Amino acid sequence: MKIAVCIKQVPDTANVKLDPETHTLKREGVESIVNPFDLFALEAALRIKEAAGGEIVAVTMGPPQAETVIKDAIGFGVDEGLLLSDRAFAGADTWATTAALAKAIEGLGDVDLVICGKQAVDGDTAQVGPGIAQRLGLPHVAFVKGFREIEDKRLVVERQMDDGYDVVELPLPALITVVREVGEPRPPSLKGKMRAKKYTVPMQGAADLGLEADQVGLAGSFTQVVKVFAPSHSGERRRLEGSEDEMGAQVIDALVDNQVIMLGS
Amino acid sequence: MDYFFTEEQEMIRDLCRQIAEERIKPVRAELDEKEEFPREIMKALAQADLFQIIIPEEYGGLGGGCLENCIAVEELSRACCGVSTSYAASFLGAYPMLLFGNEAQKEKYLPLIGSGEKLCAFALTESSSGSDAGSIQTEAKKDGDSYVLNGSKQWITNGGEAGVYTVIAITDRSKGARGATAFIVEADDPGFSIGKKEIKMGIRASATAELIFKDCRIPADRVLGKEGLGFVVAMRTFDKSRPGVGAQAVGVAQGALDEAAAFARVRKQFGKPIITFQAVAHMLADMAVDIEAGRALVYAAARYIDSGAKDFSKVSAIAKVFPTDMAMRVTTNAVQVLGGHGYMREYPVEKMMRDAKILQIYEGTNQIQRNVIGQELNKEYGRKK
Ligand SMILES: Cc1cc2nc3c(=O)[nH]c(=O)nc-3n(C[C@H](O)[C@H](O)[C@H](O)COP(=O)(O)OP(=O)(O)OC[C@H]3O[C@@H](n4cnc5c(N)ncnc54)[C@H](O)[C@@H]3O)c2cc1C
Ligand SMILES: Cc1cc2nc3c(=O)[nH]c(=O)nc-3n(C[C@H](O)[C@H](O)[C@H](O)COP(=O)(O)OP(=O)(O)OC[C@H]3O[C@@H](n4cnc5c(N)ncnc54)[C@H](O)[C@@H]3O)c2cc1C
């Protein structure tokens, strides 16, 4: 089975700075890591490979230094990596991001399964996985938490829901996004880390993918970041006093008065 | 201090430290409390290729030596000696195959042990034969194309968890020291079973069990080296493995200093952090001195052994005695620095003190090590005259 795993480089801390001019994230100077959810995507891929054999390719789109997440992936035991990097990719929204990722996955040839993390901890939209599936015309299941059956042309997965989980069968090729419950990421391996040191990460730009400049990056995006700010907490504050029961009653009164909740008929 | 590790050695250290922090520390108290074998951690160590360290490259391993083993064991021991004992015992069982195995045996077993698919164990000790290894009773009788083993082994680390065992048994009682032979026994060999599982003072995450051989029939090609070499196999194995026990000692002592120093900075009495009392600071200082001396000794001995040195029984014994006695001192003093807190299960140092004790006992007690060193000195100074 050939598996493509999409991994994103994200800033390590909550301590992210914004560029005051462009209102975008300032990625330079902040330590970067593999998006934590993408570690679960890698773990899922490695387990499927253990069960069914095959090959895993890790793909990332990002600035040149995002090559480190590909090397990290090699350290975990992934077979190959691919970095999509191009000035033209800058400012991409989820739509433009999926344009590049989908083309790259297509270019890998005969991919049976694409695995994404549930969401990126910085962008947080959870749109990229389904977006890639849409562009590639693949069926997709989001929030996969476990595998029941793994076959050449078919997967049976458990999809996490708020109140339990669904069991979903899907034909391959397909795309899934995974959640934490899929399995604790293994540690990197010594052989993998040694290979990663020597590994030259292949890089492709928009032209290599056969994409025009207006299909990617800011130009290919439907959305633009106009302003990023921390919302100010300007609401009224009130301190409640009394016994727990009294305070509870006051909270409910306030919620009802402000039409936040409605009491049942 | 910088010990000028190669890039590969640094990688081993960093990876073991990462696993120790992420996987071992959070569960060590629970493993200790429940006396539970760390199967998940063993799996993670296998996935990280850590069982490949001493396996030669031609069998899929990393081809490391004694030093690489010591680096890994030290880091794991810093978090938990129960885990590091289970890990190191697999190498203790594998060394006889590395040192004495023929091509077919190496090809069959080393990849299994290196991948971590099977844990390994080494079985010499019996109920009436500890330090006096020559007095073992377990017998192996040749019968056509096989050997039939009868007897039992006591206190075998990884007993019941391992898939492959190196077992020393008597093949010809009349030949004395040349009458024992080393065999490879597989967990599912007929007539082999696991007896009593021990309840221990320390290293409680490790499994210690009795091995029972009742007409246990194994193919004749499971002999390591040749018939009669059993005790040679055992001694050469210990020569290689003892610095690893020294490394466990350095690790657990470092772990104890880490806890004690951090505690002494935040614990206040008489209005001041206790580290500002000279009596406490000097205890910490002595611990640091002790640990660094032990570490330097272990690395130097390991490098000496890896250099291809021929006769290193004395060096290997020295690299076990000093660090393990040192670890007992250091962990005991760590409990002292923490005071009543140190005595409580809520803090990790009482476990470290319990764990450290075994290091003075197994793989040859420290008295036996001193016997070895004494005998060697007698020989050396005899020659000099
Ligand atoms: C306020 C804001 C400003 C932004 N400004 C910029 C900008 O100036 N420049 C810019 O380049 N981007 C910018 N982005 C980032 C960009 O729009 C999204 O981060 C990107 O499209 C991915 O979406 P996401 O982070 O929500 O990922 P999600 O959809 O939450 O991610 C789901 C999964 O998709 C995969 N995935 C997501 N992104 C990638 C990737 N790049 N490579 C490989 N796999 C991936 C991963 O498997 C991930 O787990 C900005 C985002 C936000 C929220
Ligand atoms: C947790 C644990 C794990 C173990 N794992 C293994 C294993 O995996 N494989 C294995 O084969 N064995 C294993 N052992 C056995 C271990 O190697 C022995 O316990 C050790 O060799 C000492 O033997 P003994 O306990 O019988 O002590 P004894 O030999 O009875 O010694 C008792 C005391 O007498 C002293 N003494 C004995 N003889 C002399 C002498 N000639 N000179 C001076 N002092 C002497 C000893 O130093 C000790 O203080 C393990 C033991 C324990 C406790």
φ/ψ bin of B158: left (φ > 0), alpha (ψ from -120 to 50), beta (otherwise): left
| B288 vs A122 pLDDT, higher one | B288
Is pLDDT of A68 > 70?
A: yes
pLDDT mean across residues, chain B: 97
Q: Verify that A26 and A69 share a domain, yes or no.
A: yes
User: Which residue's C-alpha comes closest to atom 51 of ligand 1?
Assistant: A123
Question: Nearest C-alpha to atom 25 of ligand 2 is from which residue?
Answer: B130
3-state secondary structure B301-344: HHHHHHCCCCCCHHHHHHHHHHHHHHHHHHHHHHHHHHCHHHHC
A9 in contact with ligand 1, CB cutoff 6 A = no
Instruction: Please indicate, yes or no, whether residues A182 and A243 belong to a single structural domain of this protein.
Output: no
B117 counts as catalytic: no
Residues A181 and A250 in one domain: no
Residue A23 clears pLDDT 80, i.e. is over it: no
> Is A230 within a domain?
no
Nearest-by-Cβ selection for A187 from B11, B47, B62: B47
Closest ligand to Cα B93: 2
How far is the centre of ligand 2, averaged over its atoms, from the C-alpha of B363 (Å)? Answer: 7
Q: Which of A7, A97, A122 to mutate to test the pocket of ligand 1 (most atoms within 8 A of CB)?
A: A97
d(CA A27, CA B178): 69
Give residue A242's pLDDT: 92
A260 pLDDT band (50/70/90 cuts)?
confident
> Are A112 and A206 part of one and the same domain?
yes
Render B264-299 in DSSP notation, one character per residue: HHH-EETTEEGGGSHHHHHHHHHHHHHHHHHHHHHH
User: Cα distance from A48 to chain B (closest Cα, Å)?
Assistant: 15
Instruction: Tell if the CB–CB gap between B12 and A190 is shorter than 8 Å.
Output: yes
Q: What's the pLDDT score for residue B383?
A: 85
Same domain, A246 and A164: no
Helix-strand-coil percent breakdown of chain B, rounded to 5?
Answer: 60, 15, 25
Say yes or no: CB of residue B155 within 6 Å of ligand 2: yes
B89 CB within 6 A, ligand 2: yes
- Whole-number percent of chain B with pLDDT over 70: 100
Judge whether A119 lies within some domain.
yes
Q: Identify whether residues A176 and A261 lie together within a single domain.
A: no
Residue A13 has pLDDT above 70, yes or no: no
A211 with A243, same domain: the answer is no
Whether residue A117 is contained in a domain is answered as yes
Q: Is the confidence at residue A265, as pLDDT, over 60? A: no
Residue A191 domain flag: yes
Indicate whether A247 and A197 sit together in one domain.
no
Q: Answer whether residue A11 is part of any domain.
A: yes
What pLDDT does B381 receive? 94
Which residue of chain B comes nearest to A189, CA vs CA?
B48
Indicate yes or no: CB of B15 within 8 angstroms of CB of A192: no
Chain B residues with CB-CB distance to A191 below 8 A: 49, 52, 62
In chain A, residues with a C-beta closer than 8 Å to the C-beta of B11 are 190, 193-194
* Average pLDDT estimate for B46-58: 97
Asked if residue A225 belongs to a domain, the reply is no
Least confident of A13-27, A102-116, B210-224, B364-378: A13-27
In this predicted structure, the answer to whether residue B285 has a pLDDT above a threshold of 70 is yes
Sign of CA pseudo-dihedral A80, A86, A88, A91:
positive
> Does B345 score more than 80 pLDDT?
yes
Q: How many CB atoms lie within 10 A of CB B163?
A: 17
ipTM over 0.85 threshold:
yes
> What percent of chain A is modeled with pLDDT above 70?
96
Residues of B in contact with A188 (CB under 8 A): 15, 48
The domain containing residue A251 runs over which residues? Answer: 235-265
- Indicate which CATH number applies to the domain containing A175: 3.40.50.620
Domain shared by A209 and A252, yes or no: no
Q: Say yes or no: CB of residue B367 within 6 Å of ligand 2.
A: yes
Whether residues B47 and A197 touch (CB distance < 8 A) is answered with no
Query: How far apart are the C-alpha atoms of B221 and B106, rounded to whole Å?
Result: 12
Mark out chain B residues that contact chain A at CB-CB < 8 A: 7-8, 11-12, 15, 18-19, 22-23, 44, 47-50, 52-53, 62
Peptide bond preceding B111 in cis form (omega within 30 of 0): no
> Do residue A124 and residue A181 come from a single domain?
yes
A183 with A259, same domain? no
Q: How confident is the model at residue A31 (pLDDT cuts 50, 70, 90)?
A: confident
In this prediction, residue A16 has a pLDDT band, given cuts at 50, 70 and 90, of: low
Q: Test B48 with A197 for CB contact under 8 angstroms.
A: no
Total domains in chain A come to 2
Task: Provide the pLDDT for residue B160.
Answer: 97
Question: Cα angle vertex B43, ends B40, B48, to 5°?
Answer: 130
**In which element (H, E) is residue B359 found?**
helix B349-359
Output the pLDDT for position A259. Answer: 86
Tens of pLDDT, residue by residue over B75-123, are 999 999 999 999 999 999 999 999 999 999 999 999 999 999 999 999 9
Chain A contact set for B12 (CB, 8 A)? 190
pTM (two decimals): 0.88
Quick check: B286 pLDDT over 90? Answer: yes
Question: Looking at the DSSP assignment, which residues form a beta bridge with residue A168?
Answer: A157
pLDDT at A30: 72
- Evaluate if residue B147 carries a pLDDT over 90: yes
Based on the fold, state whether residues A184 and A56 are members of the same structural domain. Answer: yes
In a domain, A221, yes or no: no
Domain assignment present for residue A68? The answer is yes
Q: How far is CA B16 from CA A74, B2, B250, B251, B359, in A?
A: 18, 18, 15, 12, 20
What pLDDT score was predicted for residue A11? 87
**Interchain pair A188, B15: CB under 8 A:** yes
Report how far residue A16's alpha carbon sits from residue B92's, in angstroms, rounded to the nearest whole number.
49
Q: Do B49 and A189 touch (CB under 8 A)?
A: yes
Structure confidence at residue B132 as a pLDDT band (50, 70, 90): very high
